Structure 1
Amino acid sequence: MAAVTVTTDPAGASPRGGRVQAPGRGLGEDWKRHIVGQLKHRDLSQHAQFQDLIRFYTRLLEKTSLTKGILSCSLSRPSFDSSCSISSLLHQKKQLKKTTGELAYQVVDLQQQIKIKERDLEEQHARLAEEEHRLAGALDARQELQERVEQVQEENGALKTEYDSLLERQRAAEMRLREEKVREEHLLEDMIHLKQQAAARMNSRNERKSRAREAKLQKELQTAARAKVTVDTCSSAPTSRSTSPKTENQPESEKRHTRLFRSASATSPRILSSIRELFDRKRRGHSVCSLEEDLVCPVGIWGSARVPVRALQVLEAHEQGINAVRFSASSDLLATGGTDRVIKLWEVRAGSLTHRATLDGSTEGITCIEFDPAGFRILAASYDKSALLWRLDDSVPKLTLTGHSRKVTAARFSSCLHQVVTGSADRTIRLWDLHRAACVQEVEVVSYCSDLVCSENCIISGHYDSKIRVWDTRTVSCIQELPAQGKVTSLDISSDHRQLLSCCRDDCLQLLDLRRRSNERMCFRAEGFKCGSDSTKAVISPDSCFLAAGSADGAVYIWNVSTGNLETRLPDKHSLSISAVSWSLSGEYVVSVDKSRRAVLWSDI
């Protein structure tokens, strides 16, 4: 243990210039206790020093009292010398008092300094203890963090190992997928080749049968042409190939009324060509047809539209807001789609909606719905940058068309049954081939596409730059631009493809006659009608006599096309802005949907 050396004066009264040697390193906490002991020892020595000072001060007081006694004795014997000694003693007394006061003041000052030092020492001890406690806590926390780091490193190592294994499995799965795709392509090619061979064999067989039938028919026709037929002018008796015995026995006058003729018309080129065309049609009927020839498209019955007057049914159709609604061509099926990422199918019977099926597969909300003309498939646009195609008897999408970089706002069937058109917020319009599930044409537009409709060889699109553009699908070019009064939120085309309806953010519906080259159009406004959003959908009635749109105040507004006036207003069934309206092709029902999950079935019944 290191020693502490304290140097004192020769009398041993007080320490003089004490010096503490620093303890050696590596001795742990002993040096601290040693220093504390030395400090206590120094405190005791200083206290003893002040005891000596007090003792000296007491002795000085005793000497002062003794001096007072001597002075009193000297004053009792007056003399000249004594007077001198008394004055000197008084002077000494004053000096002693002065010295005594200074010493007393120094004593008090030293005592105050001792108290201050003791308080500082206590504070230093408290701070030292607190820092030692904090140090211990920091060491514990450091140990815990170090253990946690080691644990996390182990977990990361395990995750890295698992990730590597999963990556290897994914690569192997991708390799197998590529192999399966190649195998599928080969199998598809083989199947197509076999189908072609089977079709060729069937066509050859049908051709041989047709030729045999044609040859047989030709032979019968030639035989019939060579036969002679007797026609009786006065009766409708059956003919025979030769004259009957009865005619041979008739007199000459009766034979004049009977003539023999040859059916030359049966062998005329016109009849033979007609027969050949008939057989050609039969041969073509047995050949392999394309998808468009095999697909039968029932035509929806366009009824006279009836203006609805009351709500037949109000229901909470979805879990979240509804963005789109559409009737099928047969008017007995309704589809709704919303932000809950599903499409719900409803059967329309006797003035009520009954849930039939739910189509899922989209990862985000639905923006647009369209039935195909045959009524077997349904097409939808989605916020997940894709368009999806379902069969009505399957809840899983048959096709998913991906390629847009932003949400798809519109998806429609084109005039060709195997093609669809999509418009997107990425300022492109794409034409898709459903046979290949691939984009065959892409058109870049200068503005956000909000909606589109299709006509024969044309695509009409509405945009946020207040323009309606007409595109020719054969040349992939814009052939006409029609100005609008505001952002175009929706487009709808009449059943006969003669009129185009646009809804804009300026709270106005515009009806354009596509047969005219001029930009003249009819505008429809109403007090209280407000276009609630950038995707509000308006529709034309099936007979093109009325227009319907939903307003931000939750009411359905219906205008008369012939008069241009508001026909009716249907309020009080929607609590929020109406997002879309659909009119059945039968003209009997109107359905409106809003952002609060509500669908309302309207009719005049």
Structure 2
Amino acid sequence: MSSDECQPTTSGVSGSVDYRMEILRLLEVRDQKHAFIEGIFRNYSKMIDTLSKTRISRVSNRSFDESGGGSDEIRKLRDEISEVYKKKSKNDQELIDANRRLAECERNLNAITEERDKLKSDLDKMCARIAQQELLVKQTLDDNQNMRDEMIALKTTCDALTRRKMEWEEERIALLNKIRELNEKYAEFFNREVDDQEERRRMKIQEEITKAIQDTSRDERTNSLLQQQENIPIGDVLLGDVVPSQALAKFDSNDGEVNDVLWLSGETFASAGSDRRIRIWRIDSQGRYQKLCSLSGANQAVTRLDYDKDKHVLLGSSNDNMCRLWNVDNQRLLTTLSGHTDKVSCARYHQSHNIVSGSYDRCIKLWDIHNQRCTKSYFPGSIVLDIIGRQSLGGAAFISAHFDKKIRFWDGRNSEPFKIVEMSGKVTSLALSEDGLQLLASTRDDTLSLIDIRNYHILHIYSAEQYRTSGDLARCVISPGQDYVAAGSADGHVYVWNSQTTRLEKILARGGHESAVLCLSWCPTGVGLLSGDKIRRVCYWH
């Protein structure tokens, strides 16, 4: 091994120097193992020299024997020669063994050398890979530093954007408040304009009455009729239904959404909502209200109410897939009707002993109250959002409103509707007039439609610029005298239209709701309107 091979490489890797020292140590060990072989070679050389000398002595002894002397010395020399041959034989064998071991050591040395070369090659590869990895690590550290710098910059930008977002949010809230104020001012302006028109109309009527009195002053019959009319209060029978103008009462009715309100009489009404309870209230014309009782038994939100005035039994549908009947006089739960497989969105009295209900399971069921069982099921194929049961007239036994924008008319005997009216949006609610000839439908396209049930034609469509349907179960209403229709909006206002002219008569806003209005109920006397919103409040408009 040359001195250059024993020098450490300039790469500075300590593993290379250790490896060379290990090779030198193995060579020293080999020299120590083969030291006795060198002694054998030296002894062998001496023996050859001795043998040569012995041969020379034999030649001289032969000559001496031939001359007849020194026989004892010759025998002695022969013995010595025999002994030398024995040693030579022994040394030859040891030499052969030594050669064999030497060849084996050379093979081991060659193997070690090959392994050393292989390890050296691997070491060079590892050094190159280490250098590459060090370069990669350095690049990664640089990238990490760049990413940290970018993260700091992005965090700074994010903080700035967050501050801007908060400022914009404050501006948005301020704008919403301003919009609400402008809406209220617009509603007040509109209501003042309506009041002025009403006042002008009344003045015109008064002038006409005055002229008529002057023209018919001698007609005693006419005078008596005018005297009778003077005793009739304004806003009662003479003017028909009264459009509410202000909120006399505003109070928390249910914990959560108020899904439905329903007048039970001229002074009492019921409210139902997401708190699973139905509450009965009394309210007078001055807005003084009192809670009479609370009906419990539903396991989830109550969605729709109906009332049997003769039996004083209240019907309620619920999201727990059931319908229930309560006696209002003693507040007892009478009957639980189960059979739907999903939330029951609506239930109405169909006849004195029957109930019809609609559900999210796309099924309509007809129930027998006495037997407390389902007598028939209908499968319209779409979610039922509202339903109307008809008792007074022939034709349709009940009418259903659906998610698929259709109103279906059923005769009760067939499993398919005999008439389907296609609307322009999901039909959220149905309201039937007192005479049973007109049907009011609320749809998700922010309109109300009045339908003549006799020929299934749409008579009028009601809409307003700011009116927005408040939800899939938003309820509309027709006044008892059929002079007006009303619906609650997503902006918390109540819109009242003239049913015949489709003119927007009133926007009830000031002192009312602050969230979407979900349900309405017009007092049977024609004076007074109830509304319930999404945050547990009920307003009484008068």
**Structure 1 length as normaliser, TM-score?**
0.48
* Per-residue deviation, residues 21-47 of structure 1 (Å, max 9, x unmatched): xxxxxxxxxxxxxxxxxxxxxxxxxxx
Deviation at 1:321, TM superposition (A): 1.6
Deviation at 1:585, TM superposition (A): 0.9
**How many angstroms apart in 2 are the aligned matches of 1:341 and 1:435?**
25
Counterpart position of 1:265: none
1:466 maps to which of 381, 402, 405: 405
Tell me the distance in 1 between the aligned counterparts of 2:306 and 2:324.
11
- 2:495 is the counterpart of 1:560: no
Q: Does the 8 Å CA contact 2:380/2:416 hold for their aligned counterparts?
A: no
Q: Tell me what 1:521 maps to.
A: 459
Pick one of 309, 321, 334 that aligns with 1:373: 309
- Following TM superposition, by how much is the alpha carbon of 1:571 offset from its aligned partner in structure 2, in angstroms? 0.8
Tell me if 1:391 matches 2:330: no
What percent of counterpart residues are identical?
Answer: 35
CA contact (8 A) 1:302 1:543 kept: no
Aligned to 1:172: none
Structure 2 counterpart of 1:598:
537
- Which residue number corresponds to residue 422 of structure 2? 483
Q: How far apart, in 1, do the equivalents of 2:327 and 2:471 lie?
A: 31
Partner of 2:381: 446
**Which residue identity lines up with residue 582 of structure 1 in the other structure?**
S
- Cα distance in 2, alignment partners of residues 489 and 336 from structure 1: 19
After alignment, is 466-475 or 426-435 more displaced?
466-475
Once the two structures are TM-superposed, the CA of residue 437 in structure 1 deviates from its matched residue by 0.3
- SS state at 1:340 partner: coil
User: For residues 371 and 472 of structure 1, what CA distance do their matches in structure 2 show?
Assistant: 22
Deviation at 1:458, TM superposition (A): 1.2
Cα separation, 1, equivalents of 2:487 and 2:450? 13
Distance 1:319 1:512 in 2: 35
Contact 1:495–1:543 at 8 Å: present in 2 too?
yes
Give unpaired runs (5+ residues) of structure 1. Answer: 1-300
Give CA-to-partner distance per residue, 1:185-239, whole Å, 9 cap, x none: xxxxxxxxxxxxxxxxxxxxxxxxxxxxxxxxxxxxxxxxxxxxxxxxxxxxxxx
Residue 401 (1) aligns with residue 337 (2): yes
Once residues 371 and 305 of structure 1 are traced to their aligned partners in structure 2, the CA distance between those partners, rounded to angstroms, is 22
**Residues 1:427 and 2:365 aligned together:** no
Instruction: Give the structure 2 partner of residue 494 of structure 1.
Output: 433
2:300 pairs with 364, 367, 373, which one?
364
Any unmatched runs of 5+ in structure 2?
1-236
Find 2:281's aligned residue among 328, 342, 346: 346
CA distance in 1, matches of 2:373, 2:294: 26
The residue that corresponds to 1:261 in the other structure is none
Find the aligned partners of 1:350 and 1:558 in 2 and give their Cα distance: 20
Contact 2:427/2:443, CA 8 A, preserved across alignment:
yes
Distance in 2 between residues matched to 1:518 and 1:550, nearest whole Å: 25
Aligned-pair RMSD on alpha carbons?
A: 1.7
Cα distance in 2, alignment partners of residues 465 and 386 from structure 1: 23
Q: Give 1:349 deviation, angstroms.
A: 2.3
Q: Secondary structure at the residue paired with 2:401?
A: strand
What is the CA-CA distance between 1:303 and the residue it aligns to? 10
CA distance in 1, matches of 2:266, 2:500: 25
Give me the whole-angstrom Cα distance separating, in 2, the residues matched to 1:302 and 1:337: 34
Structure 1 residue 394 displacement after superposition: 3.0
Q: For 1:546-585, list aligned pairs within 5 A.
A: 546-572=484-510, 573-585=512-524
Task: State the distance in 2 between where 1:500 and 1:338 align.
Answer: 25
Out of 258, 273, 279, the residue aligned to residue 322 of structure 1 is: 258
Q: Helix, strand or coil for the counterpart of 2:425?
A: coil
2:303–2:345 Cα contact (<8 Å) kept: yes
1:243-254 to 2 correspondences below 5 Å: none
TM-score, structure 2 as length reference: 0.54
**1:202 maps to what in 2?**
none
CA contact (8 A) 2:460 2:500 kept: no
CA deviations on 1:396-454 (whole Å, 9 max, x unpaired) are: 3100000000000011001x201111000000100000000000010011110000101
Cα deviation for residue 474 of structure 1 reads: 3.0
- In structure 2, the residue matched to 1:537 is 475
SS in 2 for 1:531: coil
Q: Report how many aligned residue pairs link the two structures.
A: 300
Q: CA deviation at 1:476?
A: 4.0
Matches within 5 A, 1:152-163: none
Q: Extract structure 1 runs of 4+ deviating beyond 6 A.
A: none
Contact residue 442 and residue 476 of structure 2 kept, 8 A: yes
Instruction: From the superposition, tell whether residues 404 and 303 of structure 1 become closer, same or farther in structure 2 (CA, over 3 Å).
Output: farther
Query: 2:466 and 2:329 mapped to 1: Cα distance?
Result: 42
What is the CA distance between 1:327 and its match in structure 2?
0.6
